Amino acid sequence: MNTVKLLEAIVGAEHVSSAEAYRALHAGDQSSHHKVLPDFVVWPETTAQVSEIVKLAGERQLAITGWGAGSSLEGNSTPLRAGIVLDFGRMNQILHLYENDFQVTVQPGIFYKDMNKRLAQSGLFFAPDPGANASIG
Protein backbone atom coordinates (compact mmCIF):
# COMPACT_ATOMS: atom_id res chain seq x y z
CA MET A 1 0.00 0.00 0.00
CA ASN A 2 1.32 3.47 -0.80
CA THR A 3 2.23 5.96 1.92
CA VAL A 4 -0.73 8.29 1.31
CA LYS A 5 -3.23 5.46 1.73
CA LEU A 6 -1.52 4.32 4.93
CA LEU A 7 -1.56 7.85 6.35
CA GLU A 8 -5.23 8.23 5.36
CA ALA A 9 -6.01 4.99 7.19
CA ILE A 10 -4.55 6.54 10.35
CA VAL A 11 -6.09 10.05 10.32
CA GLY A 12 -8.69 10.01 7.53
CA ALA A 13 -8.31 11.16 3.92
CA GLU A 14 -9.37 14.72 4.74
CA HIS A 15 -6.40 15.10 7.11
CA VAL A 16 -3.62 14.13 4.68
CA SER A 17 -2.36 16.24 1.80
CA SER A 18 0.31 15.98 -0.84
CA ALA A 19 -1.03 19.07 -2.64
CA GLU A 20 1.71 21.51 -3.55
CA ALA A 21 -0.05 24.46 -1.89
CA TYR A 22 -0.13 22.76 1.53
CA ARG A 23 3.39 21.41 1.10
CA ALA A 24 4.67 24.91 0.22
CA LEU A 25 2.92 26.42 3.24
CA HIS A 26 4.65 23.87 5.48
CA ALA A 27 8.10 24.08 3.82
CA GLY A 28 9.41 26.47 6.45
CA ASP A 29 8.56 28.93 9.17
CA GLN A 30 9.13 32.69 9.40
CA SER A 31 12.91 32.28 9.63
CA SER A 32 15.36 32.88 6.81
CA HIS A 33 16.41 29.21 6.73
CA HIS A 34 16.29 27.30 3.45
CA LYS A 35 12.79 25.93 2.78
CA VAL A 36 12.34 22.20 2.10
CA LEU A 37 9.12 20.97 0.53
CA PRO A 38 7.75 18.00 2.52
CA ASP A 39 6.22 15.03 0.73
CA PHE A 40 3.08 15.03 2.90
CA VAL A 41 1.29 17.21 5.42
CA VAL A 42 -0.73 15.32 8.04
CA TRP A 43 -3.10 16.75 10.68
CA PRO A 44 -3.31 14.25 13.57
CA GLU A 45 -5.83 14.66 16.39
CA THR A 46 -4.63 12.15 18.98
CA THR A 47 -1.41 10.92 20.52
CA ALA A 48 -2.24 7.43 19.24
CA GLN A 49 -2.39 8.77 15.68
CA VAL A 50 0.97 10.51 16.13
CA SER A 51 2.47 7.24 17.36
CA GLU A 52 1.16 5.35 14.33
CA ILE A 53 2.51 8.01 11.97
CA VAL A 54 5.93 7.91 13.65
CA LYS A 55 5.96 4.12 13.34
CA LEU A 56 5.04 4.32 9.65
CA ALA A 57 7.67 7.00 9.03
CA GLY A 58 10.30 4.81 10.66
CA GLU A 59 9.33 1.84 8.52
CA ARG A 60 9.43 3.98 5.36
CA GLN A 61 12.52 5.95 6.46
CA LEU A 62 10.67 9.27 6.16
CA ALA A 63 11.71 12.34 8.11
CA ILE A 64 9.16 13.93 10.45
CA THR A 65 8.89 17.62 11.26
CA GLY A 66 6.48 18.97 13.85
CA TRP A 67 4.47 22.07 12.96
CA GLY A 68 2.63 24.28 15.44
CA ALA A 69 1.78 27.70 14.07
CA GLY A 70 4.80 28.00 11.79
CA SER A 71 5.59 31.29 13.48
CA SER A 72 9.12 30.45 14.65
CA LEU A 73 11.87 32.86 13.73
CA GLU A 74 14.59 30.29 14.45
CA GLY A 75 13.78 27.52 11.97
CA ASN A 76 12.13 25.24 14.53
CA SER A 77 9.44 24.04 12.13
CA THR A 78 11.50 24.00 8.94
CA PRO A 79 12.05 20.50 7.57
CA LEU A 80 15.69 19.53 7.08
CA ARG A 81 14.64 17.10 4.36
CA ALA A 82 11.44 15.98 2.67
CA GLY A 83 9.13 13.61 4.50
CA ILE A 84 6.10 14.20 6.69
CA VAL A 85 5.13 17.43 8.39
CA LEU A 86 2.81 16.83 11.34
CA ASP A 87 0.60 19.91 11.63
CA PHE A 88 -0.61 19.88 15.24
CA GLY A 89 -3.43 22.37 14.62
CA ARG A 90 -6.09 19.81 15.58
CA MET A 91 -4.28 18.97 18.83
CA ASN A 92 -5.08 22.24 20.58
CA GLN A 93 -6.54 21.36 23.96
CA ILE A 94 -5.63 21.87 27.60
CA LEU A 95 -5.57 18.34 28.96
CA HIS A 96 -5.17 19.11 32.65
CA LEU A 97 -4.62 22.13 34.84
CA TYR A 98 -2.85 21.58 38.16
CA GLU A 99 -3.71 24.90 39.80
CA ASN A 100 -2.00 24.17 43.12
CA ASP A 101 1.23 23.15 41.37
CA PHE A 102 1.11 25.95 38.76
CA GLN A 103 1.37 23.37 35.98
CA VAL A 104 -0.65 22.70 32.89
CA THR A 105 -0.57 19.80 30.43
CA VAL A 106 -1.44 20.84 26.89
CA GLN A 107 -1.40 19.49 23.37
CA PRO A 108 1.23 20.94 21.01
CA GLY A 109 -1.17 22.85 18.76
CA ILE A 110 -2.60 25.16 21.41
CA PHE A 111 -1.89 28.85 20.91
CA TYR A 112 -0.38 30.85 23.77
CA LYS A 113 -3.26 33.35 23.71
CA ASP A 114 -5.88 30.57 23.97
CA MET A 115 -4.01 28.85 26.78
CA ASN A 116 -3.65 32.10 28.70
CA LYS A 117 -7.38 32.87 28.33
CA ARG A 118 -8.15 29.56 30.03
CA LEU A 119 -5.42 29.99 32.66
CA ALA A 120 -6.70 33.49 33.49
CA GLN A 121 -9.94 31.92 34.72
CA SER A 122 -7.83 30.43 37.52
CA GLY A 123 -5.77 33.57 38.08
CA LEU A 124 -2.76 32.09 36.29
CA PHE A 125 -0.79 32.85 33.14
CA PHE A 126 2.06 31.41 31.10
CA ALA A 127 4.80 34.01 31.32
CA PRO A 128 7.03 33.29 28.29
CA ASP A 129 5.22 35.19 25.56
CA PRO A 130 6.96 34.95 22.19
CA GLY A 131 3.81 36.20 20.50
CA ALA A 132 0.07 35.74 20.68
CA ASN A 133 0.04 33.75 17.44
CA ALA A 134 2.69 31.28 18.59
CA SER A 135 1.79 27.75 19.63
CA ILE A 136 3.39 25.48 22.19
CA GLY A 137 4.53 22.92 19.62
Domain boundaries, the chain: 3-90, 92-137
Q: Decide: residue 32, CB within 10 A, 0-12 exposed, 13-18 middle, 19+ buried.
A: exposed
Q: Is the pTM of this model over 0.85?
A: yes
pLDDT score recorded for residue 35: 84
**Nearest in space to 116 (alpha carbons), one of 128, 98, 108:** 128
The verdict on domain 3-90 having CATH code 3.30.43.10 is yes
Backbone phi and psi for residue 80, each to the nearest 5 degrees, phi listed first: -85, -25
pLDDT score recorded for residue 76: 67
pLDDT score recorded for residue 28: 74
pLDDT score recorded for residue 133: 74
- Give the angle 45-59-88 at the CA atoms, nearest 5°: 20
Question: Consecutive 10-residue runs of the chain (137 residues): their mean pLDDT?
Answer: 95 97 84 83 98 98 88 68 94 96 94 91 83 72
